[in-house]
Every structure is written in structure tokens, then in C-alpha cells.
Amino acid sequence: MSAKKEYKVGDLIIDDEYGTIDSTASVVEAAQKIKELKVPDLVVVDDKSKNVLGVIADYDIVQNVVAEGKDPKNTLVTDAMYIITPVSRETPVKECFKVMQEMNVNVVPVIEEDKLLGVASIQDCWSYIPDENPDDIGLISVANPKTMEFYVASMVTLLAFIFGILMPAIGVYGFFNETGNIPSMGEFVPREGAIWVSVLICNYAVLILGVLTLFSIFYGGISDMRNFYVSNVIKILIPYITIGLMILQWILYAMAFRTTAGASVDGVGLFFSILSMLLLLLAINRDIMFKTQGKPSAEQEVAS
């Protein structure tokens, strides 16, 4: 079996255009330097030994100082920074990436013989991760499966929202044809109040969940591309709830129109509703669409 190369931090382009700040500096001084250098974070070093102590980011200033009501002029950077163990050139990229991912930070200092060389960003590390973990599950071979899955899933979700949720909401087509003497919804409410209140609530819920589904598929696709964790509640549960509500919507309308003479199912509305549900299922299960181009089979790997 052919051995896979394990990338080290030294293989990355280490960012040496970083900013440092002494441990005796105040948060105000750190904020001023961040603004001056136009960077999101600074490496905190001991004012005497110059050893790396941690990193302070603009986010830390907001969360640990401003939000806590502390005086930034009298708060040292060491009280607001996050402590992260520096890495060396020999540290595996996957290990470096995992540390930043678990701590939810963007950079880690890189040192050599206790001297600061620069910083490695989570984006730099991520660019080497796909080479380590090629995607071998999918129907179509492409160079970058996660990127293609993101674009296709985003596109089909948008189409599902337009044809299955937005169009019925604005009345382009609906659920049942008004072939008889059917009163307006406003006149139905006092006659069959409970069911039509349920229909109205379900309509609004589908519209709101549809918008959230657009966000969840989009954000979930970005998380897959950049290898950061997103809860399955966002990636999977919200879209499935939307599909469930779309089915419930049809059931409620059928119950509401059950006593109306001459009412019949709107074929166009039913077609696009089913199509939209199928598109959402495709977006949720986007992993089955693409795989890494040129990925050898298990038998080929063993043979090599």
C-alpha cells in the first residue's frame, strides 16, 4: 500500500507579517496596534524573554473586556488573550488544525528554538487537509468535491425555496383549484376556525423554515469546504423539518377543503411541491453527488 505524505507546518507558507505586543501592554494599546497594522490579532510575548505567551484577537477584546464591563485602559493583554501552545515546523498540519478547530481560533504561533517565526492560520492548514482525506463517496468525479457540493446544494435549495415555498405563498399557484363557489380564506375562518388557523400558522412556519433552510444548507456547505464543525441541527434537522411542514401543509389544506364542493388538487402546485421536496433531500444528502477525481479504489491501493 502506498504511503501518504504527512504534511508538516514547515510545508506551509508561514505568515511572517504578524504583529506582536508586550505582555505589559494594556488592551487599549493592543486595540490601537490592531487598528494600525490592520490585522485581526497580535502575538503576546514576554516583555523580557520575548517568549510567546498567547494571542489576543479583536474578538477577545470584545468578549473578555468590553462585554465584561472592564476598563480596557487598566486591563493587561494577558488578562484578555487566549493561551495556545506554539507549534514548530515539525508539527503535523492535521494536529495544528485540530488544535485551532477545538479552541475555535484562527492562528497559532510558530516557533523555532523558542524564537517566534510567524503564525500559521487555520485557512493555511485547511488547504492541506483535503489532500490527506480525499472524498471517495459520490457519483461524479471532480477535482474538488466539497466545493461542487456547496454550489450545487445551494442552487437546488434556492430553486426548492422559489418553486415550493415562495410561489405558493405569493399565489402564482397553490394547493387546490377553486372550481366551485369557494369563499375567501377570511370568510372561512369563522366557519371552520381551528383548521384555517392551523393552515395559516403552517404557511408562516413553512416560509420561515424555508429561509432558515437556505441559510443552513449554505452555511453547512461552507463548513464542509473549510472543515469546521457545524451542528447537525443546522445542517440536517432544519431542512428535514421544512420538508415535514411542507407535507403537513398539504394535509391541512386537504382537511380544510374536504367539505367544499368542486375543489380539486392543483396539479401544478403538487408537481412543484414534490419537486422541491426532492431537491431539498438532494441538498441534504449532497455527499452522494461528487467524489475526488482520480481516487484509487481500495483494491488498487492494496495492490500498490
Question: Residue 92's CB: how many other CB atoms inside 10 A?
Answer: 17
pLDDT digits (tens, 9 = 90+) for 236-292: 999 999 999 999 999 988 887 776 666 678 888 889 999 999 999 999 988 887 776
Provide the CA 300 distance to its chain's centre, in angstroms: 35
Per residue in 200-226, pLDDT (tens digit) is 899 899 999 999 999 999 988 888 777
Q: Which residues contact 73 (CB under 8 A, 6 or more apart)?
A: 26, 27, 28
| Closest C-alpha among 52, 42, 79 to residue 63 | 79
Q: Give kind and range of the element (H or E) at residue 44.
A: strand 41-45
Across the range 147-152, mean pLDDT stands at 87
Please check the confidence at residue 227 and state whether its pLDDT lies above 70: no
Q: Which of 133-137, 145-149, 167-171, 177-181 has the lowest mean pLDDT?
A: 177-181
Q: How far is CA 73 from the centre of its chain?
A: 36
| pLDDT bracket for residue 112 (50, 70, 90) | confident
3-class SS of residue 14: coil
Rounded mean pLDDT of 178-200?
Answer: 55
Kindly report the average pLDDT of the chain as a whole number.
81
The conformation of residue 286, written as its DSSP 8-state character, comes to G
Tell me which H or E stretch contains 118.
Answer: strand 115-121
Q: What 8-state DSSP symbol labels residue 5?
A: P
Q: How far apart are CA 276 and CA 269, in angstroms?
A: 10
Pairing of strands 20-22, 41-45: parallel
Mean pLDDT in residue range 75-89: 92
CA distances from 276 to 119, 165, 253 (A): 46, 8, 18
Q: List, for residues 152-168, the tens digit of each pLDDT value.
A: 999 999 999 999 999 98
Q: pLDDT confidence of 298, banded at 50, 70, 90?
A: very low
Q: Where are the domains of the chain?
A: 9-131, 140-292
Confirm whether pTM is higher than 0.85.
no
The CATH number of the structural domain formed by 9-131 is: 3.10.580.10
